[in-house]
A and B are shown apart, each in its own frame.
Chain A
Amino acid sequence: MNPWRTNFWRNLACAVLLLVVGLSLAANWLAPAGYARQFREATDAAPSRVHWLGTDEIGRDRFARVLYGTRISLLLAPAAALLSTLMAALVGGLAGYLGGVWARAAMAMTDLFLSLPWLFLLITVRALLPLNVSPLFSVLVTFLMLGLLGWTSAARVLCSSAGSLRESDFVRQARASGVRGARLFWIHVLPNLKAVLLAQFWISIPVFILSEANLGILGLGVAEPMPSWGSLLRELEGLISVGEAPWKFVPLILLVVVVTSFQLMLSKQEQAA
């Protein structure tokens, strides 16, 4: 494998992600109109000097909404991924390390979670939440739910990895030297799961971005007027042809570019390793 080529793709993916994050963080300057203001005299408008990507059905600047939506999806998806990876490390890693009945019990619980239809579970959880919450709170709750429900697949992988580490020579040696319990887990097992944890973290980010987009398409998830990629993708529902309003595809293109960049970074990282 040519290392230059590997680095090129990884660097390109990194650069794309950095550019997208940078643009979204600069939303206040690039799109001063804000994501919520309704220009009711210019609804569903085509791109113009004032509105670079046109306006949505109730006259909100689409460029501003894409930038702010990107900020929300891109900042909170990694946060949810971090939460789910930590939970997976705790449940899966610990179960694998302890083995025996603990591992079986943890995996049974994981299987139970995996068998639940997560979309309906999210809809149910959303319905049980208090109604009178701010849009910002709704965003946090949406990603928190995604993080809390999305740890199961990673937990299985970590359980298996920790199980094999438990029987490895260096862990036996540490155990023979008197290292026991939590210290053995934190000092000797967990650091050796780092590569798996990182991989699971990177994999989870696009999964959560797409999950939020799915919820948004159903009209759930992030509350109005706050944008997210999911709510922006809903604009494509009524389109009959691509040529009708190609600028409405920008959120979709952005989503594909970001998810591809994450995947590219991950696969090239694995190849390099």
Chain B
Amino acid sequence: MATEITRRRAILAATLVAAACLGIFTGSASAQGELRFCLRSEPKTFDPLKVEDDASVAVRYLTGGVLLRMNRQTQALEPELAQSWKVSKDGRQITFQLRSGISFSDGTPFSADDVAYTVQQLMDPALHSPTGDAFRSGPGNTETKILSATQISITFPAPVAGLDRQFDQVAILSAHSGKKEMAVLGPFMVDDYKPGATVLLKRNPNYWKTDAQGRKLPYLDSIRLDIQPNRDVEMLRFKRSEIGLINSLDSEYFDKLAATSPQLVHDAGPSLDSEQMWFNEVAKSPLPGYKKNWFRSANFRRAISQAINRDDLARVVFRGHAQAAIGPVSPANKFWFNAHLKPETYSPDAALKALQGEGFRMENGTLKDKDGNEVTFSVITNSGNKYRERMATMIQEDLQKIGIHVNVVTLDFPSLIERMTQTFDYEAILLGLTNVGLDPSEQMNVWLSSSENHQWNPSEKSPETPWEAEIDRLMRAQASSADAQKRKESFDRVQEIAIEQAPFIYLVNRNALSAVAANVQGASPVILVPQTYWNVERLAVK
């Protein structure tokens, strides 16, 4: 009997040792569990080149392999599938040295052919790739030249601003795999999709990265993405430990969660997102002439800006999880933020004095212009957004102190957009801007006076003011230069002009708030999207 037990023990021990050894060689011993979190909408596509919506961006981030990746923590560009890269001085050409010995999830080998194929697809006008738009800098064809199996050069018809950084969004497709876009180079691959319910991602067995100890990444076995548009339900599920992460947490929920489980919530500081207000400066708008004169006066706009207590907005509306905005770029954008700019000082007295200098006068607590018109205007915001409604109500009280009467109007979003872009029948709008990218070229559509998204006065045939002409020139100059320092100088000046002229009155930059369950290991939330799972290959669930 004793011999039998010893033999069994020996077999068991041998099996365990064999399993452990196998684990070391295959990396499966390091795989740890399933991570669950919510997507707030249905992914519209799994084709990485057609991605436009947030849910599809999330799936692309988790599954797509890219040549270069911006480190979400340091904001520096790091090599991924490309070992090294070089951008030409004229900003038109980029040459990549690729890693060798890498395979797609289905086993197809990765080479320069795949990069050439991806770029051709990306730039194909018939595909209308939103990711490709960032590379379309001028008329003409994009040329790819395969120098070897691991070296490729791509030449664009005109300089592309921040060319190398744009490749952070380009997931490489396989030129030869029969699985098309489902063959991936990222840490995970789509295993199952139930429309309206879940997207199940499984670890890519051929993922090329290893950790410092040589263990294969990713650590997780799978990721289950539950499609859940309701934030209340998402929060409840997190509290019940049914999901492990929440990105972009609401400040109210953040505080509630912090009260009971402070170790689970993370405030990464000001994000790139801003909340702003602007006046209608469209010459052909149906507003009375005297109001057009107010709104087109930089001194009027700056006085309004001075009379708004931004610190109160950040402290009260966002419960301290926001910072008073300084200008068009959040301080979170480490490279492009103009550090010489100072926050607007809240001063109703100075605002009133500036307005009096413009001919306005106070009569019985009401501000009147030089023609005797009472200064009153409406601020529209989208209905259902309680934060914006609260900000508008607080601005209403702030401006009442200098005799300006503000009517707060909440409209459904389509009606608001129609007034903003079609009829121009509005006086002021309060909305937010969600910034995903860091590069100023991504804001060209806002700053160029000819753009449809130049909100305060869209689609100008030629710049209507000298300062808008100057912004046009500076934005084009930065977009056509490959010299990062020169680009920064141009964009710094754009930020200064934006403060001097106040076409947008920047209010606050919301903080990046997130929650990570106690059993999720390796998470280090940051301000950039995707805040909580930017290092997904190194996350583990215990």
Contacts and interface: CB of A to CB of B under 8 A. Distances in A.
A15 to B, nearest CB: 36
A132 B427 contact: yes
Given A57-B317, A58-B316, A127-B411, A219 B236 contact: no
Interface in A44-65: 57-59
B42 interface: no
Interface in A225-263: 225, 234, 237-238, 240, 244
A238 B393 contact: no
A241 to B, nearest CB: 10
A71 to B, nearest CB: 20
B312 A40 contact: yes
Interface in B433-490: none
B539 to A, nearest CB: 27
B124 to A, nearest CB: 40
Contact of A123 (B250, B412, B426, B427): B412
Grouping DSSP codes into helix (H, G, I), strand (E, B) and loop, the A interface class, with mixed when no group exceeds half, is loop
Nearest to B394: A58
B378 A131 contact: yes
A124 B411 CA distance: 9
A224 B408 contact: yes
B422 interface: no
Given A135-B407, A224-B389, A225-B393, A43 B384 contact: no
B213 interface: no
A57 B415 contact: no
Given A127-B411, A131-B426, A223-B407, A43 B389 contact: no
A125 to B, nearest CB: 11
Nearest to A134: B407
Contacts of A148: none
B364 interface: no
A220 B416 CA distance: 13
The contact size tier of chain A is 20 to 34
Contacts of B390: 57-58
Interface residues of B, number: 37
A46 B272 CA distance: 34
A133 interface: yes
Interface in A28-79: 36, 38, 40, 43, 57-59
A238 B250 contact: yes
B407 A219 contact: no
B378 to A, nearest CB: 4
A132 B377 contact: yes
A218 interface: yes
A238 B410 contact: no
A121 B405 CA distance: 29
Contact of A131 (B252, B380, B384, B394): B380
B181 interface: no
B409 A223 contact: yes
A188 interface: no
Interface string B306-343: 00000010011100000000000000000000000000
20 contacts: A38-B393, A38-B394, A40-B316, A43-B316, A124-B415, A127-B415, A131-B380, A131-B425, A132-B376, A132-B377, A132-B378, A133-B378, A219-B410, A223-B408, A223-B409, A225-B396, A225-B397, A240-B232, A240-B235, A240-B256
Nearest first, the 10 A-B pairs at minimum CB distance are: A219-B383, A127-B415, A131-B378, A224-B408, A219-B410, A224-B393, A132-B378, A219-B384, A238-B252, A131-B409
Given A219-B410, A240-B232, 4 more contacts: A38-B393, A131-B407, A134-B407, A224-B393
